[in-house]
Structure 1
Amino acid sequence: MTTVPKKLPIVLALGIVQTLAFGSTLYLPAILAEPMANDIGVTPGWAFGAFSLALVVAALLGPAVGARIDRFGGRNVMTVSSLVLAAGLALLGLADGIVGICLAWLIIGIGMATGLYESAFASLTVIFKSDARGPITGITLIAGFASTICWPISAWFEIEYGWRITCFFWAAMHIVLALPLNRFFIPSGGKSPQTDIAQKLHAEGRPVETVTTNYFTMPMVLLAFVFAASWFTATAMAAHLPRLLQISGLGTADAIIAASLVGPAQVIGRLFEFGFLQRMHPLISARLAAITHPIGSMLFLIFAGPAGMIFTSLHGMGNGILTIAKGTLPLAIFGPTGYGKRQGFLMAPSRFAQAAAPFVFGVLIDGYGMQALLLTTLLGILTLLALMVLKVSASAKETD
């Protein structure tokens, strides 16, 4: 009989790793894109474009990475991600032109494909199978502080030592902190749900080839849209939130403070999910979360700067719950079999949406200022509608 590892040490380790991983990748351009661009003599749009390359790489590699975790567990994959992210960030700090920056972000993209939430969620599902909802929520509770912790650290290092030293600092953190946590706290090996089913069929004398998973169904399409729309909004906010708040009339310091509220608000939302909504289907919490950004953005558009903290708090709460939903909804609807590969397919459109978000939303801010929020408001409403339809589709079409 296989002993299930204790949850708390794994959750704490992966939560710290994810905080570092997000702070040094997705949240980095919001602080470093402008000084980086100014230093090498290009516009900030080029810096964000280079960052988008990383998201495209992550999208393309996602299904293969997930399938490997399904088969072998996440320990080796997550360990390699620490090395790759460290190498990419070090190269970013050494880059002396746009070509070097693009190359660095391409390498960082490999690290993102192997080291962000999708890999962590798949690793937990291999370990805990259908009981992974609690651990998934746990690591997102910790990593919800990524922007709150890492934005001020990145900003301080950039002001005091420059953007290159900031990149070197985060590269070092992946070696001295993330690498040992991934290596020593994630259990090695482990049987995937597919392996369990295959062994059962073999014992019953039935062909193992019958263990198949359909990755292209209407519930999958709806979930892929939900995740893509929410990741577009989350990435747009991560890249441009301080600037958006400054456009509304807030000073630089006040804008950073208001933007940093996203982290605590995400944790509050996740605590709400972990406590009050834990006994309910993840669809319920996802629907509640989908409407928070539209409500907050409308208040922000009406009242501008004075509503900045309300907007960032509502956005953070919704984004925090939706981040959990990205891990728990596929598990609740489709079960643990093929979870990692399924996550790779589900998140591929999200990565492309993320890749487009910094540029598209930046262009909209340049042209329309705060009115750019109308796009993310619409996406939030469409996300809610998709989640309402998903209940019928999933329950009627899918089984574990």
Structure 2
Amino acid sequence: MICLAMGQILVWAGLFYVFPAMLVRWEEALGWSKAELTGAFTLAIFVSALSSPLAGRLIDAGRGGLMMAGSSLLGGFCLVGLSMVRELWQFYVVWALIGVLLAGCLYEPCFALVTRARGAAARRGIIAITLVAGFASTISFPAIHVLADGLGWRMAIQIFAAVVILVATPFMWYGASKVEKAGAEDQDHSGDHKVARHAFIGRPHFWLLAVGFGLGAIVHGVSLHHLLPILHDRGFTADIAVLAASFIGPMQVAGRLAMMAAERHVSNHGVAIACFMFMGLAVMLLAASGAAPVLLAGFVVFYGAAYGTVSILRPLIARDILGGANFGAKTGALALIYLVGSASAPYLGSLVWSVGGYDLVLPCLIVLAFAGLILYVAAHRLPRQA
């Protein structure tokens, strides 16, 4: 499991967090607007969402290890292409290709692979992976900052590409293949009731839960991908902004450790409520940090802890509220909507910023966080599904 975790931390750092870490530099070096730049990442996540069903079929066919390693390898070559772009359309093409590969190597396929192999025992493995991969932003933000300052942004991207190709890919191949082989003899091949497989889509539980977590994805996505510009707008230096961003990863890990420690004392429902409240509180602190810089530390703590637990909590809450029958179909549908929220976030943030700046963006995020909480609580109060 440690090899899979190491592969995850490197592909997250190299293929995902590289975008927010580079956003300000691309805006300055390439002369494109925030909306134009973040539109490319929005496209990547939308493509990733649309590619997720194919990734699931490959995992079910026993090709998960090959898919994850191949996605990492091709993702590294896409980074090489990214370092060479000169035109906006080239930037969009590269990020669309990366989007396909994200569907094959990030958390969603990884957790599906582990769950398929380990069944009810998957939780411990998933937590172990997230504890390691939670440090991805800690690698990406400062590494990009140092490398781009010293060598230029193009060379920095090429170094990241080399790490993904030469280090992440072997880890991914060995780790994913080992997990897949270990669970091959324990698969449940019993048939599903196809008529009822997607009946949950017509029930309010699903939509309340899906939209609630989708709003949370928007809050997270805007906060993350606009963090450096927001902090610049609030008067923080580039060094302080990068330092704050780099501590989000450790706070994610701290949130997951706290969840493990409180497992016997706090229900999944209680943790979910805390996550939504922490999201809203974190954005409040971020909004006020310009006047009181010490509040930035509070933002990092609450934001990192909330997002760190959500990746573990979502499948647990889905099982609690939607039931365990046809669980793969349910989590897949929830993931699709969650990814649409993530995909929309950077571009939506840029659009709102173009209307009223970050003084308008941040209050909107606070409203979305608490709206997500209301929808989640409503889903929890409805009668449970089988």
Question: What TM-score, normalized by structure 2, do the two folds share?
Answer: 0.89
Matched, 1:142 2:132: yes
Separation of aligned partners in 2, 1:354 and 1:241 = 15
Shift of residue 336 of structure 1?
A: 6.1
Give the root-mean-square deviation of aligned CA atoms: 2.5
Query: Whole-Å Cα distance in 1 between the matches of residues 324 and 64 of structure 2?
Result: 15
Counterpart of 1:196 in structure 2 is 189
Unaligned 5+ runs, structure 2: none
One-letter identity of the residue aligned with 1:358: P
Does the 8 Å CA contact 1:63/1:345 hold for their aligned counterparts?
no
Shift of 1:209: 5.8
Q: Name the structure 2 match of 1:364.
A: 352
Tell me the CA shift for residue 265 of structure 1.
Answer: 1.2
Distance, in Å, in 1 between the alignment partners of 2:214 and 2:15 is 18
- Cα distance change of structure 1 residues 68 and 343 upon mapping to structure 2, 3 Å threshold: farther
- For each residue in 1:273-295, what CA deviation from the matched residue of structure 2 results, as whole angstroms up to 9, or x when unmatched? 12212675423211111100212
1:125 deviates by: 0.5
Residue aligning to 1:110: 100
Alignment of 1:243-262 (within 5 A): 243-262=229-248
Q: Deviations over 1:367-397 (max 9, x none)?
A: 233442111211211222122122233xx34
Amino acid aligned to 1:343: T
- How is 1:189-338 mapped onto 2 (pairs within 5 angstroms)? 190=183, 195-198=188-191, 212=197, 214-216=199-201, 217-277=203-263, 280-302=266-288, 304=290, 305-334=293-322, 338=326
Q: Distance in 2 between matches of 1:80 and 1:168?
A: 18
Q: 1:329 to 1:70 in 2, by over 3 A?
A: farther
**Cα displacement (A) at 1:191:** 5.0
* Matching of residue 398 in structure 1 with residue 385 in structure 2: yes
Aligned counterparts of 1:209 and 1:364: Cα–Cα separation in 2: 43
| SS class of match (1:226) | helix
Whole-Å separation in 2 of the counterparts to 1:219 and 1:64:
26
SS in 2 for 1:45: helix
Deviations 1:78-133 (A, max 9, x none): 12211221122121112221121111101100111111111111011011112212
- Separation (CA, whole Å) in 1 of partners of 2:185 and 2:313: 21
Pairs within 5 Å for 1:66-85: 66-72=56-62, 74-85=64-75
Q: Deviations over 1:199-253 (max 9, x none)?
A: xx9xxxxxx7678454513332223213311221222122111221222222221
Query: CA 1:361–1:85 in structure 2 vs 1: closer, same or farther (change >3 Å)?
Result: same
3-state DSSP of counterpart to 1:277? coil
Which stretch of the first structure deviates more once superposed, 329-338 or 252-261?
329-338
Correspondence for 1:377 among 337, 349, 366: 366
Distance 1:232 1:38, change over 3 A: same
Query: Which amino acid is the alignment partner of residue 124 of structure 2?
Result: G
CA distance in 2, matches of 1:350, 1:309: 27
* Contact preservation (8 Å) 2:24, 2:228: no
State the AA in 2 paired with 1:76. L
Distance in 2 of aligned mates of 1:337 and 1:40: 50
Distance in 2, Cα, partners of 1:44 & 1:377 = 22
Q: Which moved more, 1:66-75 or 1:79-88?
A: 66-75
- For 2:198 and 2:265, how far apart are their aligned partners in 1? 27
Q: Tell me: CA distance 1:33–1:241, structure 2 relative to 1, closer, same or farther (3 Å).
A: closer
How far apart in 1 are the matches of 2:322 and 2:219? 25
Amino acid at match of 1:383: G
- Unaligned segments of structure 1, at least 5 residues: 1-9, 202-207
Q: Distance in 2 between matches of 1:252 and 1:119?
A: 34
Aligned 8 A contact 1:287 1:384 in 2:
yes
Three-state SS of the structure 2 residue aligned to 1:188 is helix
Greater Cα offset, 139-148 or 346-355:
346-355
Alpha-carbon separation, structure 2, partners of 1:302 and 1:244: 11
SS in 1 for 2:138: helix
Deviation, structure 1 residue 166: 2.0
Give the whole-Å Cα distance in 2 for the aligned partners of 1:356 and 1:285. 26
**Structure 1 stretch 102-111 or stretch 40-49: which is displaced more?**
40-49
Instruction: Identify if the C-alpha distance between structure 1 residues 313 and 228 changes in structure 2 by more than 3 Å, giving closer, same or farther.
Output: same
Instruction: State the Cα distance separating 1:320 from its structure 2 match.
Output: 0.9
Query: In the alignment, is the contact (CA less than 8 A) between 1:81 and 1:112 conserved in 2?
Result: yes
TM-aligned CA distance change 1:98 to 1:341, over 3 Å: farther
2: CA distance, partners of 1:141 / 1:233: 22
Q: What is the CA–CA distance in structure 1 between the aligned matches of 2:317 and 2:186, rounded to whole Å?
A: 17
Counting aligned pairs with the same residue, the percent is 25
Contact 2:322/2:384 (<8 A) preserved: no
- Paired residues in the alignment total 379
How far 1:339 sits from its partner (Å)?
4.3
Alignment of 1:92-171 (within 5 A): 92-171=82-161
- The residue type paired with residue 392 of structure 1 is R
Moved more, 245-254 or 284-293: 245-254
Following TM superposition, the consecutive aligned residue runs of length 4 or more in structure 1 with deviations greater than 6 angstroms are none
More displaced, 72-81 or 147-156? Answer: 72-81
Where 2:15 maps in the other structure, the secondary structure is coil
Report deviation, 1:333.
4.4
Deviations 1:310-340 (A, max 9, x none): 1121111111111211233334445666544
CA contact (8 A) 1:66 1:342 kept: no
